[in-house]
Amino acid sequence: MAQFDLVILGGGSGGYACALRAAQLGKNVALIESGKLGGTCLHRGCIPTKALLHSGEIADSAREASTFGVNAQFLSMDMVAVNAYKDGVISKLHKGLQGLVKSRNITFVEGHGRLVSKDTVEVNGERYTGTNVVLATGSYAKSLPGLEIDGVRVMTSDHATNLTYVPKSVIVLGGGVIGCEFASVWKSFGAEVTIIEGLPHLVALEDESSSKQLERAYRKRGINFELGVRFKSHTVTADGVTVELEDGKTFSADVLLVAVGRGPVSANLGYEEQGITMDRGYVLVDNKCRTNVPGIWAVGDLIPTLQLAHVGFGEGILVAEEICGLNPRPINYDGVPRVTYSEPEVASVGLTTAQAKERGHDVVELNYDLAGNGKAQILRTAGSIKLVSQKNGPVLGIHMVGARVGELLAEAQLIFNWEATADDVAPLIHAHPTLSEAMGEAHMALAGKPLHAHG
């Protein structure tokens, strides 16, 4: 039996971040992974989808080249080349990560692990015992009852990231982040796309104003969507799939992408048997990611916090530092930046207007239209930056729509997390012409001194 300071089950964003930080702090770490080091984010999630979105952006640029005075033509997508480019990015990052884990002397164990006692994980008949055990087994793509995933006509994001052709038409079931990103990719690649969403808006967790702007932009791009209506049934035929909705409408397409959310990977892993408190498959933790069982911790998509890679990184680092006695600050989940990398992008940090009001804040709002921003005009993008602020107090939320606005979150999250007021930000000079100028100008306007804004 091998003995470690930390035994980590799952080598995705949460697990490997915890391993790297704990090893950096001098701990003896075992990291157990049944698939590939890097997990969902690197192999089936963030990285492949963003590569596909970038290919889509280039395709759109080729289509629109004449707008910018460039003689070029969009002919077609070469999916072999797209996948080679995407897989090349993944492979390089994967190799880098493997090297990093090795260089920190982390014991990397390949195989399916199971918690067999409060301090031991068994893999391939071998036992790994830890003073601390960190559960980081992540999540899987969910489906709906009766909606069988065949990976050909009916698929999840796991299949969609590796498609070797561009379907002529696609139905995307679910208008959340993953659904909207794939809708954007496929539209750029030349497919007819229809999104079906049961809630009243696309990206419904965002501020309503952002959802509405994305819907406007998607309408303009020719991406179809049905909102506030639920899926009823589907039929797979020889040449496609037909979906019936509860309102009686039917839609047919080459493929159906099921993007209805992700559930925790926790079944049959011994968690309940060891007395860990769980809820609908999620492992419950306190604000330092401790479970109710002393010495067992849990991070990432396995716990009911935001399902984002950078949240997994943050939680993994938090656990490593807590174990090492550094007493890190608990994570403020309101301050986590969120991006939907569609065209246009939707990005936010902090509270929506509705949340700020629910929490009893005296709210003021400011909408800065990107029409007044030079760089946005150069890029030919439309959108806005919306500030939600406490009256005469700190900025409570920043909500953005437009090309590349995800990059503006670096500043937005500092403003929110440092509880800056509009008066703090307004005097900061932003480089011209950049999109970030719009961040400065929005705060200038909120501070009562608008420059390139009416009103």
Q: Nearest to residue 399, comparing CAs of 446, 340, 352? A: 352
Three-class SS of 200-220: CCCCCCCCHHHHHHHHHHHHH
Query: Does position 137 bind ligand FAD by CB under 6 A?
Result: yes
49 binds ligand FAD (CB under 6 A): yes
Considering the rule CB under 6 A, would residue 39 count as an interface residue with ligand FAD? yes
Q: How far is the CB of 9 from ligand FAD (least distance, A)?
A: 6
> Is 10 near ligand FAD (CB under 6 A)?
yes
Residue span binding ligand FAD (CB under 6 A) among the ranges 28-36, 58-66, 364-372, 381-389: 28-36
Interface with ligand FAD, residue 113, by CB under 6 A? yes
Tell which residue, 319, 324, 257, 245, has the closest CA to residue 285: 319
Q: What share of the chain is helix, strand, coil (3-state, %, to 5)?
A: 35, 25, 40
384 scored as a contact of ligand FAD (CB under 6 A) = no
Tell me if residue 432 is catalytic. Answer: yes
Q: Does 134 bind ligand FAD (CB under 6 A)?
A: no
Work out the number of other CB atoms within 10 angstroms of the CB of residue 290.
18
| Residue 307 in contact with ligand FAD, rule: CB under 6 A | yes
CB of 298 to ligand FAD, least distance (A): 9
Which of 34/390 has CB closer to ligand FAD? 34
Distance CA 444, CA 185 (A): 35
How far is residue 336's CA from residue 418's CA, in Å, rounded to a whole number?
13
Identity at 155, one-letter amino acid code: M
CB of 368 to ligand FAD, least distance (A): 25
Site string for ligand FAD, 236-275 (x = CB under 6 A): -----------------------------x---x------
- Choose the binding region for ligand FAD from 39-47, 143-151, 223-231, 435-443 (rule: CB under 6 A): 39-47
3-class DSSP assignment, residue 223? coil
Q: How far apart are CA 77 and CA 128, in angstroms?
A: 48
Interface segment toward ligand FAD; rule CB under 6 A; list 130-138, 190-198, 226-234, 360-368: 130-138
User: Residue 397, SS3?
Assistant: strand
Residue 15 touches ligand FAD, criterion: CB under 6 A: yes
Following DSSP, what letter does each residue of 107-123 receive, concatenated?
Answer: EEEES-EEEEETTEEEE
Q: What is the rounded CA–CA span in Å between residue 318 and residue 320?
A: 6
Decide if 273 contacts 260 (C-beta within 8 A): no
- Among 172, 309, 398, 415, the residue binding ligand FAD under the rule CB under 6 A is 309
Q: Which helix (H) or strand (E) holds 235?
A: strand 231-237
CA distance 241 to 193: 13
Q: Which of 112, 249, 357, 432 binds ligand FAD (CB under 6 A)?
A: 112
Q: Which of 21, 23, 30, 40 binds ligand FAD (CB under 6 A)?
A: 40
* Closest separation in Å from C-beta 309 to ligand FAD: 4
Binding segment (CB under 6 A) for ligand FAD, from list 10-18, 94-102, 192-200, 437-445: 10-18
Q: Contact between 14 and ligand FAD (CB under 6 A)?
A: yes
Nearer to ligand FAD, 315 or 437 (CB): 315
Rounded to a whole number of angstroms, the minimum distance from the CB of residue 70 to ligand FAD is 29
Residue with Cβ nearer ligand FAD (276 or 356) = 276
To the nearest whole angstrom, how small is the minimum distance from the Cβ of residue 97 to ligand FAD? 12
Toward ligand FAD, which CB reaches closer, 113 or 350? 113
Phi, psi for 20 (deg, rounded to 5): -65, -45
Rounded to an integer, what distance in angstroms lies between the CA atom of residue 444 and that of residue 454?
Answer: 12
Tokens 């470690």 sit at which residue?
4
Q: Which stretch binds ligand FAD (CB under 6 A): 45-53, 319-327, 381-389, 415-423?
A: 45-53
Please give the full DSSP string across 254-318, using - where no structure is assigned: SEEEE-S-EEE--TTSSTTTTT--EETTEEP--TT-B-SSTTEEE-GGGSSS---HHHHHHHHHH
Nearer CB in complex with ligand FAD: 258/420: 258
CB of 178 to ligand FAD, least distance (A): 5
Beta bridge partners of residue 194, listed in sequence order = 171, 224
Q: Which is nearer to ligand FAD, 307 or 373 (CB)?
A: 307
Q: How far apart are CA 314 and CA 273, in angstroms?
A: 28
Q: Which stretch binds ligand FAD (CB under 6 A): 32-40, 97-105, 209-217, 243-251?
A: 32-40
Specify the amino acid at residue 108: F
Catalytic residue (one of 43, 432, 452, 454):
432
Interface with ligand FAD (CB under 6 A): 9-15, 32-35, 39-41, 44-46, 49, 112-113, 136-139, 157, 178, 265, 269, 300-302, 307-310, 312, 341
Q: Which residues are catalytic?
A: 432
